[in-house]
Structure 1
Amino acid sequence: MQNALFVGVSSQVALQRELDVIANNMANMSTNGFKSRTSRFQEYLMPVASADSFSAPDRRLSYVIDQGTTLNLGQGPVEQTGNPLDVAVKGSAFIAVRAQGGAERYTRNGALSVDARGQLVTSDGYPVMGEGGPITVNPQETGLAIGPDGTVSTNLGIRGRIKLVTFANPNALINDGGNLYSSTSPARPAGLDGRLEPGALERSNVSPVLEMTRLMDVNRTYTMVSSVISRMDDLRGTAISRLANVA
């Protein structure tokens, strides 16, 4: 009976984790370049008891183990904006930016602009990295444009090239806040694996219908598991009460 309660609690913990992932996906349905995540779980079978005095063999107990999440790198819808500084990232590439403290981070947010210091930045204010550092332009320059290969040019010529990178193992990417990712594996030049579409933005690849369906499934399963735990707890209380009344 106690084991059944433990199994139920492990299921509830896993369902709560999945609910958090779904909530985060839904909260970022309108975030430029956001990539949804899916929970991963693994079955854990408890070892069978070694005693052989039972009339029937022990049954293995199956628990749920949280194995983290998988990043969905599917292309989000591309929306034309007409803004020459908006770029939709195509393929598996990410834009390298400089985060707080100077660390390099990665994003799919292609809503770019020029800040007061002349730096090309994302809509979140992170400087976009070029091959030699952050890309800057002078106030007197005009005709700022971004090419499909990431080349940034003005009326005075080429000012830099946006650093596009990919990863051998995209699932090593870790959400780092502010629509940024860090990685436990080194980044490599995107090459042909990444291009930009100027004058457009990649929207979130979250599917509202899919997430709502998952949300309903999780809530239904959580309610069912809670009901089972409640009945098992009532059964245990009844058993204790009856055993206490045995003369």
Structure 2
Amino acid sequence: MQNALFVGVSSQMAIQRELDVIANNMANVSTTGFKARNSRFQEYLMPVASADSFESPDRRVSYVIDQGTTLDLGQGPIEQTGNPLHVAVRGEAFLTVQTPAGVRYTRNGALEVNVQGQLVTSDGHAVQGEGGPITINPQETGAAIGPDGTVSTNLGVRGRIRLVTFAKPQRLTSEGGNLYASPDQPQPAGLAGRLESGALERSNVRPVVEMTRLMDVNRTYAMVSSVITRLDDLRGTAIRRLAEVA
């Protein structure tokens, strides 16, 4: 009976983690370039006794272990905006940006020019070119971004946006603000990543799918809670009856 309670608790902890992931996905349905995450769990079988004196072998007790989340790198829908500084990232590439915490990576292609003339994201993070930050003077006109990330104005090429990919993108960790950090060194994207100017990649979260998952998880949580309650009541009844016999 005690094992059954432990199994129920491990299931509830896993379900709570799943709820947190779904809630975060739903909160970012409208976030530019957001990539959904999915929970990943593993079954853990408790070691069993090996003595040969038992009349029947022990039953294997199965627990649930949270193995983190996986990043869904599927392409989000592309929305045309007409803004020449907006870029939708196609493929599995990421923009490189400079943040107060260091170099980070993002799919947020809502770019603009700040008061210092630097090309930045909508959150104010400086977009990194192959030679450092990209600067556009206020007097320049006709700003455009090519598919390979080349930024040009009426005065010529101002730089090329640094697009990168990762050999193991699932090792990327979310840091909030639609930013990712990686323990691995990035690689030049090459043909693995292209930019579409005048457009933005929207979130790849599918609200209908997430709502369905949410309903399933809530039903499962309620079912597990009910089982735990019945087991607890059964244990209490057993203790009372044993006390009456004594």
Identify the TM-score tier after normalising by the shorter chain: over 0.9
Q: Using the TM superposition, give the Cα deviation of residue 50 of structure 1 relative to its aligned residue in structure 2, in angstroms.
A: 3.1
Q: Partner residue of 2:219?
A: 220
Distance in 2 of aligned mates of 1:32 and 1:138: 27
1:14-71 per-position Cα deviation (integer Å, ceiling 9, x unaligned):
0000100000000000000000000000000001123444332110000001111110
Q: Partner residue of 2:4?
A: 4
Distance in 1 of aligned mates of 2:243 and 2:91: 68
Q: Is the counterpart of residue 75 in structure 1 residue 82 in structure 2?
A: no
Q: Is the counterpart of residue 205 in structure 1 residue 217 in structure 2?
A: no
| Structure 2 counterpart of 1:35, one-letter code | K
Distance in 1 of aligned mates of 2:79 and 2:111: 15
Q: Using the TM superposition, give the Cα deviation of residue 213 of structure 1 relative to its aligned residue in structure 2, in angstroms.
A: 0.6
Distance in 2 of aligned mates of 1:99 and 1:221: 41
Structure 1 counterpart SS, 2:136: coil
1:158-192 per-position Cα deviation (integer Å, ceiling 9, x unaligned):
11000000000110110011100001211000000
Aligned residue-pair number: 246
Q: Partner residue of 1:196?
A: 195
Q: Partner residue of 2:154?
A: 155
CA-based RMSD of the aligned residues comes to: 0.8
Structure 1 alignment gaps of length 5 or more:
none
Q: Is the counterpart of residue 28 in structure 1 residue 28 in structure 2?
A: yes
Q: Partner residue of 1:231?
A: 230
Distance in 1 of aligned mates of 2:210 and 2:117: 40
Q: Is the counterpart of residue 48 in structure 1 residue 42 in structure 2?
A: no
Structure 2 counterpart SS, 1:33: coil
1:76-104 per-position Cα deviation (integer Å, ceiling 9, x unaligned):
00000111011000011000000114x11
Q: Using the TM superposition, give the Cα deviation of residue 149 of structure 1 relative to its aligned residue in structure 2, in angstroms.
A: 0.8
Structure 1 counterpart SS, 2:115: coil
Distance in 2 of aligned mates of 1:92 and 1:57: 50
1:211-238 per-position Cα deviation (integer Å, ceiling 9, x unaligned):
0010011000000000000000000000
Q: Using the TM superposition, give the Cα deviation of residue 141 of structure 1 relative to its aligned residue in structure 2, in angstroms.
A: 1.2
1:194-226 per-position Cα deviation (integer Å, ceiling 9, x unaligned):
000000000000000110010011000000000
Distance in 1 of aligned mates of 2:217 and 2:223: 10
Distance in 2 of aligned mates of 1:226 and 1:185: 41
Q: Partner residue of 1:168?
A: 167
Structure 2 counterpart SS, 1:128: strand
Q: How does 1:120-135 map to 2 (within 5 A)?
A: 120-135=119-134
| Structure 1 counterpart of 2:70, one-letter code | T
Structure 2 counterpart SS, 1:184: coil
Q: Partner residue of 2:115?
A: 116
Distance in 2 of aligned mates of 1:93 and 1:141: 29
Q: Partner residue of 2:17?
A: 17
Structure 2 alignment gaps of length 5 or more:
none
Structure 2 counterpart SS, 1:228: helix
Q: Partner residue of 1:84?
A: 84
Q: What TM-score do you get using the length of structure 2 for normalisation?
A: 0.98
| Structure 2 counterpart of 1:15, one-letter code | I
| Structure 1 counterpart of 2:156, one-letter code | G
| Structure 2 counterpart of 1:19, one-letter code | L
